[in-house]
Copies of this chain bind each other. A is one copy, B any other.
Amino acid sequence: MARVTFTFEDGSKVEVFANAGDNLLEIARGANVAIDAPCSGNASCGKCRVQLIGGEMESKKTLHISDEEYAAGWRLACTSIITEADVEVLVPDIAAAYKSRMKVADLSSKEEIAIFENAKRDIQFASIVLQNSLDVVEVEMDPPSLDDTMPDVERLTRALKRYININMVRVPYVVLRKLPDILRDNNFRVKCVLRTTSRDMYVYDIFGQDEKVVIGGIAIDIGTTTVSAVLINMENGDILAKGSAGNGQIRYGADVINRIIESRKPGGVKKLQDAIIKETLNPIIREMCKSAHLPRNQVYRVCVASNTTMNHLFAGINADPLRMEPYIPAFFKTNSLFASDLGLEVNKDAHIIVAPNIGSYVGGDITAGTLVSMIWNRPEYSLFIDLGTNGELVFGNSDFMMSCACSAGPAFEGGDISCGMRATDGAIEACTIDKETMEPTYTVVGDPGTKPIGLCGSGIIDVISELYMTGIINPKGKFVREGKRVRHDKYGMGSYVIAFEEDAGSVKDVEITEVDIDNFIRAKGAIFSAIRTMLNSLDFDVSMIDDVYVAGGIGSGINMQNAVNIGMFPDIPMEKFHYIGNSSLTGAYLMLLSTPAEKKTYELAQNMTYLELSTVPTYMDEFVGACFLPHTDTTMFPSVMKRK
């Protein structure tokens, strides 16, 4: 047994014991130490860098670690094996950047609130009422007497039937059990939380007449990388609290495929379900309810929007068939999930609504997002793009909608990029580069003065666009200008340093390499070629797009012009682009709040056609053409060429 100490940049430590022969990345996972490992630990991504600062271990040398770095103690956790000796490693912030940094706010910023308010307004504009089946009603009964000996349940039922004309009232055990005391303690004047449908009424809970009762609901977006949630008042849709955190599953792989593979190991499905529910969602729920002073068992409904793999793993369901031909999900729609089934820490009878999937690679995040985009309610042709770990597109209008998905990889959220990270504290989210001096100016997520530790998606777009527009890199992404910020390693690979170590908030320069640029070009190429292929299949041209709605965790800072400059989005007028934030979360919010909106989403999902890009012969050609800045066919990007 050897003592393994993980030390973080803030000085905190985690100590565990391990056996000789154990893998350091596995030990970290077991100890709940988040070390980014998008490749799931096969030494290919090079992100699980740690620095040996005490003791010893055996580490294979890889291409990701230079000789100087190796001498300085840098190792990949995934290739490091514990010996009999104790060992201490430093986990740099960049490696731990995916660590679950939970944030909860009791009142969100006005801009964030506005997104939900706008969504409410838009959906009502489409004649969808904000009505859900949950209510609190005050009920007053005559106390029993020798002349009126009706039992408690029948007495309550009789009183409720006076309020609402319904045939069947269901009084579940949780209420039945409280009934004799609560009726008598309150002189037969109580408040009931009800769910009323056309066929029956269900009494969720019962309270004394004077108790404050709020019907809470929680909308959740489970992204592959980031999880966001809002706690709302179901009576008026007010946001009571917001929360977000990294998806605790991240330590089992950055993308859905690696997570599915991990889930196939013994106990894997449970492990991944625990990582999302116990480690990620329950802490967010606890904090949100605490911040809103709402007892957790007063949360009576939850709506989850997520991609198909995420909702399968959330529900603890084998997701393996999703990744293997013929790619079959366990469900598109499920109507029988309850909080107690999953151990979600809300009212145990809370119904869990899951935004419907429409295929293995187009899930509830997209159907919920499509609801929010409102493209189904307009005659104009709109394109909805959700830039997540996978890129998903929906094109259409009130007459038709087609969806497709492309594997963009995790680049938009900072994955597959040496200094990539998600849009949390320390992430460079925007950047310009002076054409003459080649000096960068950037803004960093976090409090003023926060030092940069990496690049999030919007920052990468900016950096690559600026490098290209200033002629520092060529259309292939190779460095063609020299300067103090441009370096080449011994293999000739170029890189550009945005922040030198001394200016950075981590132990390493923040830089972007040709490999990073190449990875990102492939990601943006996947998106652009998907747009082209889908439009072609419909005999449409990019000029016929009236509006583009961009959603996703790439960050509100996305610079649409730069995204066009690099050939990620088509070269159409800027005013057609709209960033609509996290539409998966907003969609879940609408489905939670409005039963007609929920039904509308099922309807949208059912009517949306799905284009499997891999079956379109021209897709590969389109993709290859798009793997340039901005494109091999520059005539598609006249405004970019003009500005350059």
Closest-by-CB residue of B relative to A612 is: B146
Contact indicator A149/B326 (Cβ below 8 Å): yes
Report B-chain residues with C-beta under 8 Å of the C-beta of A172. 336, 341
Within 8 A of B (CB), among A317-364: 317-321, 325-338, 341-342, 357, 359
Contact indicator A152/B334 (Cβ below 8 Å): no
Is A29 on the interface with B (CB-CB < 8 A)?
no
- B-contacting 9-mer, from A179-187, A235-243, A581-589: A179-187
Q: Pick from B327, B330, B337, B338: contact of A180, CB below 8 A.
A: B330
Contact indicator B336/A173 (Cβ below 8 Å): yes
Is A153 on the interface with B (CB-CB < 8 A)?
yes
Report B-chain residues with C-beta under 8 Å of the C-beta of A330. 151-153, 176, 179-180
Q: How far is the CB of A518 from chain B (nearest CB, A)?
A: 32
Contact indicator B320/A180 (Cβ below 8 Å): yes
Is A177 on the interface with B (CB-CB < 8 A)?
yes
Contact indicator B326/A170 (Cβ below 8 Å): no
Knowing A172-B336, A317-B179 are in contact, say whether A359-B149 is a contact too (CB < 8 A). Answer: yes
Is A399 on the interface with B (CB-CB < 8 A)?
no
Is A171 on the interface with B (CB-CB < 8 A)?
yes
Knowing A176-B317, A176-B334, A337-B173 are in contact, say whether A151-B357 is a contact too (CB < 8 A). Answer: yes
Report B-chain residues with C-beta under 8 Å of the C-beta of A328. 144, 149-152
Is A216 on the interface with B (CB-CB < 8 A)?
no
Closest-by-CB residue of B relative to A150 is: B328
Contact indicator A154/B325 (Cβ below 8 Å): no
Is A199 on the interface with B (CB-CB < 8 A)?
yes
Contact indicator A332/B177 (Cβ below 8 Å): no
CA of A173 to CA of B336, assembled, Å: 6
Is A81 on the interface with B (CB-CB < 8 A)?
no
Q: How far is the CB of A116 from chain B (nearest CB, A)?
A: 30
CA of A318 to CA of B325, assembled, Å: 57
Contact indicator A335/B170 (Cβ below 8 Å): yes
Within 8 A of B (CB), among A155-187: 170-174, 176-177, 179-181, 184
Within 8 A of B (CB), among A445-495: none
Report B-chain residues with C-beta under 8 Å of the C-beta of A148. 326
Closest-by-CB residue of B relative to A359 is: B149
Is A315 on the interface with B (CB-CB < 8 A)?
yes
CA of A170 to CA of B176, assembled, Å: 25
Contact indicator A154/B332 (Cβ below 8 Å): yes
CA of A150 to CA of B330, assembled, Å: 9
Is A217 on the interface with B (CB-CB < 8 A)?
no
Q: Pick from B153, B315, B320: contact of A173, CB below 8 A.
A: B315
Contact indicator A180/B317 (Cβ below 8 Å): yes
Closest-by-CB residue of B relative to A615 is: B146
Q: How far is the CB of A266 from chain B (nearest CB, A)?
A: 14
Q: How far is the CB of A362 from chain B (nearest CB, A)?
A: 12
Q: Pick from B144, B149, B317, B326: contact of A144, CB below 8 A.
A: B326
CA of A199 to CA of B197, assembled, Å: 14
Q: How far is the CB of A457 from chain B (nearest CB, A)?
A: 31
Report B-chain residues with C-beta under 8 Å of the C-beta of A334. 153, 171, 176
A-B contact pairs, 24 of them (CB 8 A): A144-B326, A144-B328, A145-B326, A146-B326, A149-B327, A149-B328, A151-B328, A151-B330, A151-B331, A151-B357, A152-B321, A153-B330, A153-B331, A154-B333, A171-B331, A171-B336, A173-B315, A174-B341, A176-B317, A177-B315, A177-B317, A179-B330, A180-B319, A180-B321
- 5 nearest interchain CB pairs? A173-B341, A153-B331, A180-B318, A151-B329, A172-B336
- Besides A149-B327, A151-B329, 14 more A-B contacts (Cβ < 8 Å) are A148-B326, A151-B328, A151-B330, A151-B332, A151-B357, A171-B336, A173-B338, A173-B342, A176-B331, A180-B317, A180-B318, A180-B321, A184-B321, A199-B199
